[in-house]
Amino acid sequence: MLYCQAFGQSSRMNQLPIFTSGFELANLAVNSNLLHLSLSAIAALQDEVNRFQQQQQQSLPLGCRVDRQSKYTIVALVTSPSCTIHHLQQGGDLVSSADLKQKNFPLFEFLCSKGNPCFSILTAAITLFYNCFTDLSCLRTQLVDPVTGNLSVDTPLIITGNSLGGSVASLFTLWLLDSISPRSNKRPFCITFGSPLIGNLGLQRAISERSTWNSCFLHVAANQDPVPSLFLRPHIPQFLASTPQTILYRPFGAFLLCSELGCTCVEDPEVVVRFLESMALESTGSQISDEYLLRYYAEILETLKARLILKRSSLLGLSVTDSLEAGIILQLEAIGAKRIQQPQHNKDFTNLVSKLKEREQIRMFNKRKALNPSRKLNEIKIKMAYLEWYKKRCKAKEIGYYDSYKNHLSESDRDVTKYKKFLTNYWKDLVEEAEKKPQKEGKFIQLTWLFAGTNYRRMVEPLEIAEYYRTHGNRNYEALRSEHYRLLEKWQKEDADRPTGPPSNKKKKEVAGALTEDSCFWAKVEEAIISCELLMAPTSSALEKQSSRECLIDFEKYVMEQIKNYAVSPEIFLRESSFMKWWGMYQNTASNRSLIDFMRNSRNVQYEKGCF
């Protein structure tokens, strides 16, 4: 089994019991009072919409109400009675983001990214959103400060809705999330009741790509409500089908699944689908009004609030082997999955429990891996500290860490290779992830890790250059430079996009221990050495000599600019460095008077003290 393969390498992890936290999360949600407040706001707005339609004799596509309470600001969205289950069944098709863009409604184009270029949304939901776009735009203006990008309400913001209104609430919440600055610590929280799934795998991925967005959604679904599983339910449930069936709709966010027997909270999309399919067998059909379903949800919540779910025991009389299996069986009981528990389906039920158990084990393993960034970050700090120590040790030998690594003179030089490899693999993955993320999320990652990434690039890329010229002997390292170095440099320059002036006193004082700012400096040195050799070689053609002379003049100018800006480490002036090798070859033909004066009068001593 996949679980055995994933966990086989860690006997200690195998010994740890795994539990499902669905009941604890469900209890927390039910007892928080947020569900009751949201449902009350929806019911009050539904009454207003019904009265309006009776008085005006016309349909109101979408009703909206902002309820500013002492502890919360609740925005309720409900649809008119014409938007019933029948309407959803007729509008159950998906529309792609590409089609929306062609129809001049690219409002949700921000969900596209390099790693996830396309997604699809429930036609009925996006059509209703489009028809009410003006009102929703005004509502967004009330809730988000366009200057600061922060929510303009003082209390936590709850967006809520039921049935198709819940779908619009989800879309509106996504729109709000994109309007809010990634650095803001306040985000809306969306609670839906009996809402259908509104998108495909592309939409699910788009939301999960944002580090905080998935946690902004809680969808409440009851086992007698057919709408949440409307676009999942085949004639034969997926877990009982003899052949796999394609499911176009995919969930996102957390789901509070409930019945009169209890409730559970599930975040894993695959498990949500399985549970919704199980609940589909228990729903009574589509002939249920929104008003009835609102009362049904209110009754269930009242019942659940008084129930101690965690003290329930299984009624199935099955042999339970561990705590995880027991939790899964209790979850299935809690959502009212009775039909699959009948004797004729006992084997299917056992298979379902087994699959859910395996899924939870894999999810927990992946979660533990995902919780390792702090541990990984500590490893990175240790390896960077080792390189710092290596750099100081090489400096004491008057050679510099670039040339020491290039020459591979000692065991410590060879040890550096494994540290370089570890750090490079880590930063390649991180940069690739940031680049694939949506623009705002990727930008947030870039800013968060920019300082560490800049230090890594300036410390490690010179080692990459040393290895390139030692092993390949070719020219033009920069033409073949790794993309992650290019992006790290690009992001650093964008962050420092301001007019440059003379170096500050702090920069001058700290130059002795600083890294060379241009991480490709040593590649330019190597190219200058090759140009010197070509210039002096009797076999070089006139064209080669002319080209080499031009390159060396440019390099002289470049070096002097770096020195004046205190942008190079004093290491470059160490006796055994490649830079000093270049100067020894070139000094008699140098043309830049400033550089000649600096080098011949040993100004590098003053430079290291910050008083050049």
Domain ranges of the chain: 20-351, 391-608
**What pLDDT score was predicted for residue 166?**
95
Amino acid at 342: Q
CB atoms closer than 10 angstroms to residue 68: 11
**What pLDDT score was predicted for residue 244?**
44
d(CA 516, CA 574): 14
In the chain the first and final C-alpha atoms are separated, in Å, by 67
Report the candidate in 255, 259, 301, 261 with the shortest Cα–Cα distance to residue 274: 255
Write the class of the CATH domain 20-351. alpha beta
Average the pLDDT over 345-350 and give the result: 67
The residues near 436 (Cβ < 8 Å, ≥ 6 apart) are: 113, 114, 115, 116, 209, 442
Q: Which residues make beta-bridge pairs with 103?
A: none
In this predicted structure, the answer to whether residue 581 has a pLDDT above a threshold of 50 is: yes
Amino acid at 42: I
Percentage of the chain surpassing pLDDT 70?
Answer: 78
Amino acid at 423: L
Q: What is the DSSP letter of 196?
A: P
Confidence of residue 67 (pLDDT cuts 50, 70, 90): very high
The residues near 85 (Cβ < 8 Å, ≥ 6 apart) are: 163, 226, 227, 230, 286, 288
> Which is more confident, 12 or 159?
159
- The answer to whether 315 and 333 are in contact (CB under 8 A) is yes
> Which is more confident, 53 or 5?
53
**What pLDDT score was predicted for residue 188?**
95
Average the pLDDT over 429-434 and give the result: 85
Q: State pLDDT tens for residues 194-253.
A: 999 999 999 999 998 887 899 999 999 998 888 898 888 554 444 434 344 456 899 999
CB atoms closer than 10 angstroms to residue 321: 9
**What pLDDT score was predicted for residue 501?**
67
For residue 459 the two structure tokens come to 């410390």
**What pLDDT score was predicted for residue 282?**
66
Q: State pLDDT tens for residues 436-453.
A: 777 776 666 667 788 889
Q: State pLDDT tens for residues 310-333.
A: 444 444 455 555 556 666 776 777
**What pLDDT score was predicted for residue 356?**
76
| Chain center to CA of 259 | 34
**What pLDDT score was predicted for residue 551?**
95
In this predicted structure, the answer to whether residue 536 has a pLDDT above a threshold of 60 is: yes
Confidence of residue 424 (pLDDT cuts 50, 70, 90): very high
Q: State pLDDT tens for residues 86-124.
A: 455 555 689 999 999 999 899 999 999 888 899 999 998
d(CA 457, CA 345): 60
Report the candidate in 149, 230, 235 with the shortest Cα–Cα distance to residue 185: 149
